[in-house]
A = this chain, B = another copy of it.
């Protein structure tokens, strides 16, 4: 198998995660160069420690490089559609972090560019690669439980993000629940046609300043007649709570959280087990590796990508509908 040569855009938290995985855990991939307009000495030292040999502040060097087969887009959301268009124009395959964008026409234009260029585009919906959620989806997709009736996703972060983050996050639906919208499509195997959202501000008063909520529930209708519900909280003090459930004709399949360990301590005060693993780096660590392995395989062997541009687009559409629903207190179609 030919080595896939990667250029990466962005070296923030998620960028460092992908860079580390590319260099240490993903055979067949080589991280050739990294561009980030905010690259500093610390970032350079980090890249050197990984053995990466080229870096800079200008993304154009990545798009222009003849020896780069594919790009990983880990830059801020606002840049995604533009970077996708430029990468496609340069004939490079693309792995792009979620969300694919914030504006539907902008996203659609980027997807058009990908289509015309004939390059591959994979979206970073990492949870599809989690062993637990994937098992639930595989059971549903196998048909052994019959048709899905109800899809449930519970997703809670262990602690609220800083106020500065919330100020620019785009709100809980676009920033956080977007993963769960994708999960709902993934589990049900069907498109979402309508949503209705309830939200409340219980965790930190600053959410209200940005017209945002910290706690939300969204109901969904699916094309196949199933219905669903997602609940999100910005703060579960016991850790990252990530559970899904699909109730079907013949039964129900659900998952639980990975735990810190499988211990059980029994005393007069009760029986104490461990908490879920702390946050996404702990819970989805292997999934981050698996999604990029799949991307590398798709590029190297001209195989289909497991999560594509349409998946990216639909999740954003649902998020925008949910936001509108919460604002107007009415069900909103996903069109």
Residues of B contacting A266 with CB < 8 Å?
Answer: 236, 238-239, 241, 251-254, 275
Q: Is A250 an interface residue (CB 8 A)?
A: yes
Complex Cα gap A154–B132 (Å): 21
How many copies of the polypeptide does the oligomer hold? 4
Complex Cα gap A219–B195 (Å): 12
Q: Is A108 an interface residue (CB 8 A)?
A: no
Complex Cα gap A217–B201 (Å): 22
Q: Is A211 an interface residue (CB 8 A)?
A: no
Q: Return the chain B residue nearest A234 by Cβ.
A: B149
Residues of B contacting A233 with CB < 8 Å?
Answer: 149-150, 247
Closest Cβ of chain B to A222, distance in Å, is: 9
Contact at B156–A247, with CB atoms within 8 Å? yes
Complex Cα gap A259–B266 (Å): 12
Q: Is A271 an interface residue (CB 8 A)?
A: yes
Q: Is A48 an interface residue (CB 8 A)?
A: no
- Given A225-B202, A247-B233, decide whether A267 and B238 contact each other with a Cβ distance below 8 A: yes
Contact at B262–A132, with CB atoms within 8 Å? yes
Residues of B contacting A200 with CB < 8 Å?
Answer: 149, 221, 225-227
Contact at A131–B251, with CB atoms within 8 Å? no
Q: Is A106 an interface residue (CB 8 A)?
A: no
Residues of B contacting A268 with CB < 8 Å?
Answer: 237-238, 250-251, 275
Complex Cα gap A11–B198 (Å): 43
Other-chain contact of A272, B154, B219, B221, B271 (Cβ < 8 Å): B271
Contact at B255–A263, with CB atoms within 8 Å? yes
Contact at B254–A264, with CB atoms within 8 Å? yes
Q: Is A273 an interface residue (CB 8 A)?
A: yes
Q: Return the chain B residue nearest A213 by Cβ.
A: B227
Contact at A250–B237, with CB atoms within 8 Å? yes
Other-chain contact of A136, B215, B255, B263 (Cβ < 8 Å): B263
A234-287 with Cβ < 8 A to chain B: 236-239, 241, 247, 249-275
Apart from A217-B228, A330-B330, what 8 extra A-B contacts exist at CB < 8 Å?
A: A24-B25, A145-B267, A149-B200, A149-B215, A229-B231, A241-B252, A253-B265, A270-B274
Closest 7 CB pairs of A and B: A251-B267, A238-B266, A256-B262, A135-B263, A149-B202, A131-B261, A270-B272
Some 15 contacts from A to B, beta carbons below 8 A apart, are A145-B265, A196-B331, A200-B226, A201-B225, A229-B231, A231-B247, A237-B268, A239-B266, A254-B266, A256-B264, A259-B271, A268-B275, A273-B273, A330-B330, A330-B331
